[in-house]
Homo-oligomer: A and B are copies of this chain.
Amino acid sequence: MSSTPDRPLLAVLRGERRDPPPVWLMRQAGRYLPEYRALRAEKGGFLELVYDSDAAAEITLQPIRRFGFDAAILFSDILIIPHGMGQGLTFGPGEGPRLTPPLDDGDWRRLTPTVDRFAPIYETVRKVAAALPPSTTLIGFAGAPWTVATYMVAGQGSKDQAETRRLAYRDPAAFGALIDRLCEVTIDYLSGQIDAGAMAVQLFDSWAGTLSPDQFDQWVIAPTKRIAAALMARHPGVPIIGFPKGAGAKLAAYAAETGVDAVGLDETVDPAWADAVLPKGMPVQGNLDPLALIAGGDALRAAVARIRAALDTRPHVFNLGHGILPDAPIAHVEQLLAMLREGSR
């Protein structure tokens, strides 16, 4: 008997194949779950829940109890980093996040941090780690510097991230200083999550898809490489999943050059292409279309089969290519899990 419990998902991130593939779903702790909506109705706003470590731990565990996913992902938000750096953060009802003041010049030194925003997040990680089933992997996360910067500069979500791309062309030195600072904070923040019990971490580069190849090299690949190197030095053996959503064909360079241990595929990626071009043996995560999950039935079955067949010889963590949508039927999540398990060979 091994003294460490078997965690299939962690094993896959370290390069083993497992059949059936371990599975979790991005945004699995969220609005499609009635138990989440009930707790949200009782406790109030999204950000209040994130900073309430009892509530956040409970929400993180809800989908594990219901579905037995192979990973729990910390219930939190990619904008905790700018909030921790001193930018104001609100989520108005029915609208996206607002960050104040917008850093339209990229100068993060204008911000004054007043509250330790990371301590309650680490506390949530500790509580989840203590409560998880022994076969479940706990994944911590952060937004990647480029993606976080797009919100900090525009003060909100933005179409095509145009303000931030313009700033990066107009004043690469100022923008580069912001990215450098975000690298430092991200390294410390993910390191803190790992110290608190996270067994793997994911870097969400949700807005990597609008960058030209030059800007992608500078603002996605280089910062990710720096973060991966620092985390690997501080925490050897803790896998890093990089998820540059929308990277298209540039995913191959990202996988080869950044030093991340595994890559996430968004739903637009042909998994057969990914298998052909990614480094041999590199674990991949993904990439069911969230809308195929909503469709269910034959459309779901066909999409799952295509992904499994393409990634048959590679370490594979099954996931969506994007967060689960609030109107995803619980019954379809159950169908998906049954398909994965019945489909094992």
Using a CB–CB cutoff of 8 Å, the interface residues on chain A facing chain B are 162, 165-166, 169-170, 172, 209-216, 246-253, 267-271, 273, 277, 289, 291-292, 294-295, 299, 302-303, 306, 321
Contact = CB atoms under 8 A, between A and B. Distances in A.
B291 A169 contact: yes
A169 B295 contact: yes
Contact of A249 (B170, B212, B216, B270): B270
Contact of A269 (B213, B252, B303): B213
A267 B212 contact: yes
Contact of A212 (B246, B277, B289): B289
A37 B262 CA distance: 51
Contacts of A212: 267-268, 289, 291-292, 303, 321
Contacts of A295: 166, 169-170
Select the residue from A209, A277, A295 with max chain B CB neighbours within 10 A: A295
A249 B254 CA distance: 14
Contacts of A248: 246-249, 268-269
Instruction: Specify how many copies of this chain sit in the oligomer.
Output: 2
Select the residue from A211, A216, A253, A289 with max chain B CB neighbours within 10 A: A289
A169 B214 contact: no
A165 B302 contact: no
Contacts of A271: 213
B249 A214 contact: no
Contact of A270 (B250, B269, B273): B250
A169 B294 contact: yes
Q: Give 8 closest A-B pairs by Cβ, nearest first.
A: A248-B248, A169-B295, A213-B270, A249-B249, A212-B289, A169-B299, A249-B273, A212-B267
A26 to B, nearest CB: 15
A249 B249 CA distance: 4
A171 B212 CA distance: 36
11 contacts: A165-B289, A170-B295, A210-B268, A212-B289, A213-B269, A213-B306, A214-B302, A214-B306, A246-B248, A248-B269, A249-B270
Nearest to A170: B295
